Chain A
C-alpha cells in the first residue's frame, strides 16, 4: 500500500520534472509582444500591490482592445506573483524569462530590483522601475538596463523637502525632521539625499527604522512623541502605512505634519481611517482622472473585461500601475519606429526605445493620458526622463492635489547620482559606455 503510493508519488514527481524541462519551449507566439508582469496579489503588501497590478494589466488590455496592439502587434501578458519576496521574485523572473526573446520587466519591489539589476544585463532585458529602485541608476552610462522612469526616491525626498521649505517660509534651519522608514533597501534609499539636504539647510534629521512588515511601530512613535519633530516623512509600504497613521492618531501627532512618499500616500493606506487621517499628505506622481478611464470603462468594464473593481479606477496606485504599463508600451513603440513597425521587438531593441523616449503632450493626448502623466524624454545618459510630482492631501474622503507639479532639484541630485554610480561602476568594474554604444 505504502509502496504503491510512493510509486505514484515518484511518477507524478518525474512527470512534473519532465514538464519543467520542456516548459520553456512553449515560446510566445509570433506577432505577440510578451509583457511579463511580476506583481503581487498575495502577502503582506497585497493591499497596495493589487491596485497597481490591476492598473498595469488593464492598460495592456486596453492597448489591445482600443489600438489593436502596438502597430498591430498584440500584447500577450503573463502574471507571476512575487509576494514582494526577493527569492520568489527571482524565481518569477527566471520563469517568465524563458518565454520570449526579450522583454521589459517591472520588478515592483526595490529588493527584487537590486537582485535583477545583477541579472538583467546578461539576459539583455531592460528593467523599468518607475518611481522606485536604485536612485543612482538614472545614470544610463553605468546602468545600461535600468530605467527608473518618472522619478526616483531621491527626487521624491527632494520634492518633499522643497515643499516643506516653502511651507516654512524658505528656511528649515533648526527644524527637526524625522524619517520613519521601512527597514529595507526601499526605505533606506532617500537617506543619502536627506542627509545632504540636512547639511545644506541646517535641519536635524532623525532616522527611525521600522522592521518589516511594519505592523509594530509603538516604539517608533513613542520616540516621536518624545522628540517632537516638526515634520515626519513616511517611507512605508503596505500595512506599514496605515499602521503609522494609526499610531500617529494614538500618540496625537498631527497628521498635517506627516508627508508620505508616493508609495505611502495611496487610498488603501488611509481609507480605513477615514476622517482620522484627514490632513495627511503625500506625493502624487500621476494624475487620477483622464480620458483613458472612460476608455477603460467602455472597452473593458462594460464588457466585463476589467481586472479589478471599477471603483479603483481613480486611485493613485491604480494609475501608477497604468502609467508603468504605458511607459513600457511607448518604449516598444519607439523601438518599432527604428527597427520596423509591426514587428516583435527584442529586449535590446526595447532598451534603445526606452533610451530614446520622447512622450510629449501631443502623444499623451493620443494615449488618453492627459492629466495623468507628464511628458517624459530620456536619453542614453538620463534614464529617468521626468522628475516631478505633486503633493496631495487626504480630506477624509479623497485625496486632493494641493500643489502644482514640483520638479526635483537637479543641482543637488546630479552630483549624488554621479558619486553613487561611479562607486557601483568601480565595485563591479563596469567600463563607461561609449557614444557608439549609446547608438546601438
Chain B
C-alpha cells in the first residue's frame, strides 16, 4: 500500500539513474541513516557498540570489498584475511614509524598497500579460473601468516609478535570512547558503500560483470580481461585492506596474525555467499547473519532465564547456526539479498497479488 511507485514519473536520465529510483526507498534510506547516525549513538549501550555494531560495520565493509571481487567480477578469493592483515599491519607501521601521522591517512595508506599486494596476487587470475584461483589466492593467506609472524620489522620488533595501538584521534578529537569508534567506522562504511555502489553501476562495474558472466564473450566485445580483473582485485583489496586496518585499530586494539587467519577468509566468503553474491546490501545482510546471529543465539538462554551449561550453549549455537545456514541456502540459494528484493516486489503488489 505504502510501498508503491505509482505516479513517480522520471523525466530526465539523471532521475532514472538514481541509486534508489523509488521515493519510498530514498526516504527509508534517509531514515536508516538518521537512525544509524543519531538514534543509535543516543540509545545503544556500550556492549552493543563494542561487541556487535563495530564488528558488524567493519566486517560489512570487508564483505563489500570481497563482494566486488567474488560477486561482481566472479574471481573466487580465499585471501581476504591476508588482504585485511596487509591493511592492518601497513597502517600500523605508518602510524608507528611516522611521527604525527593522521589516523585516517594511515588507514587509507594501509588500504593502498593492500591494493598493491592484492594486484600482485591477482595476476594469476589472468591464467587460472574458479576453484584453481581460490587455491592460488590461498598462497596470499599463507604468505602473510608467515611474513607477519617471522619478519620482525613489520611488528616493530615486538617480542611477542603482537602489536597494539592506543590514543587514536581524528582531527584532534579522541575516538577512544565506543560512540566515537562507532561513528568513525560508520563514516567509513557509508562512504565506501556509496563508492562501491556507484562503481558497480559504472562502466567499470559493467566490465566486471561481463567478465564474470563469460570472459571470452567479454573479450570479444572489447573488454580487456587484464584490466577488468586487476581493477577488481585492486578495488576489492583496497576496501578489504581498510576494513582490516579498522579491525585491528578500532575493534581489537591489539592483534596478532591469528586475527586474520584463514578462518577470517572463510568467514567473509560465507558472508558474501549467504548475503548474496553481487549485491552491496547483501554484504550487510551477510555480515549481520554471521556476526550478530551467533552472539544472539549464545545470549538467548540467559535472557530467557534458562540456566544452561556454557559448553552446551556454545555447542547449541554452532548447531543452530549451521542449520540456519543450510536452511537459508536451500530456501534462497541467491542469498538474503534476493529474499529482500523478492519481499520488496511482493510489497509493491500488496494487497492485490496477481
Do A and B share a complex? yes
| Residues of chain A at the chain B interface (Cβ within 8 Å) | 2-3, 6, 16, 19-21, 23-24, 39, 41-42, 46, 50, 79-81, 83, 86-87, 90-91, 94-95, 97-98, 110-111, 114-115, 117-119, 122, 134, 183-185, 188-189, 191-192, 209, 211-212, 420, 427-429
Interface size on B, residues (CB 8 A): 48
| Chain B, 72-122, CB within 8 A of any chain A CB | 96
A138 to B161, CA, bound (A): 19
Q: A95-B299, A115-B253, A185-B256 are in contact. Are A23 and B160 (CB under 8 A)?
A: no
How many A-B residue pairs lie within 8 Å, measured between CB atoms? 124
Q: Which residue of B lies closest to A183 (CB)?
A: B149
Q: Which residues of B contact A91 (CB under 8 A)?
A: 51, 55, 295
The A contact surface, by secondary structure, is: helix
A109 vs chain B, min Cβ distance (A)? 11
Tell which of B48, B162, B176, B253 has the most Cβ of chain A within 10 Å. Answer: B162
Which one of B43, B145, B160, B298 contacts A189 once the chains associate, using CB atoms below 8 Å? B160
Shortest A27–chain B CB gap in Å is 12
Residue in B52, B159, B309, B350 whose beta carbon sits within 8 Å of that of A20 in the complex: B52
Q: Are B43 and A21 in contact (CB under 8 A)?
A: yes
When chains A and B are docked, how far (Å) is the Cα of A2 from the Cα of B346? 10
Contacts of B254 in A (CB 8 A): 114-115, 117-118
With A2-B342, A94-B51, A209-B149 as contacts: A42 and B256 at CB distance below 8 Å: no
What are 7 A-B interface contacts by the 8 Å CB criterion?
A3-B343, A21-B48, A23-B299, A98-B47, A111-B162, A117-B164, A428-B166
Docked-complex contact A97 and B46, CB < 8 angstroms: yes
With A2-B339, A41-B310, A118-B253 known as contacts, the answer to whether A90 contacts B51 (CB < 8 A) is yes
B314 within 8 A of A: yes
Say which residue of A23, A111, A118 sits within 8 Å of B166 (CB atoms).
A118
19 new A-B contacts at CB < 8 Å, known A111-B256, A114-B164, A114-B256: A2-B346, A3-B346, A3-B350, A16-B300, A20-B47, A21-B43, A39-B310, A42-B311, A79-B310, A98-B46, A114-B255, A115-B253, A115-B254, A118-B166, A184-B161, A184-B256, A185-B160, A209-B149, A420-B159
B315 cross-chain contacts in A, Cβ below 8 A = 42
**One of B46, B55, B161, B252 near A115 (C-beta < 8 A):** B252
Instruction: Knowing A90-B51, A118-B164, say if A188 contacts B299 (CB, 8 Å).
Output: no
Partner of B255, one of A16, A80, A98, A115: A115
Closest to A5 in B: B331
For residue B131, CB closer than 8 A to chain A, the reply is: no
Give CA–CA (A42, B50) in the complex, Å. 23
Supposing A81-B313, A111-B258, A114-B256 touch, asked if A188 and B159 sit within 8 A by C-beta, the answer is yes
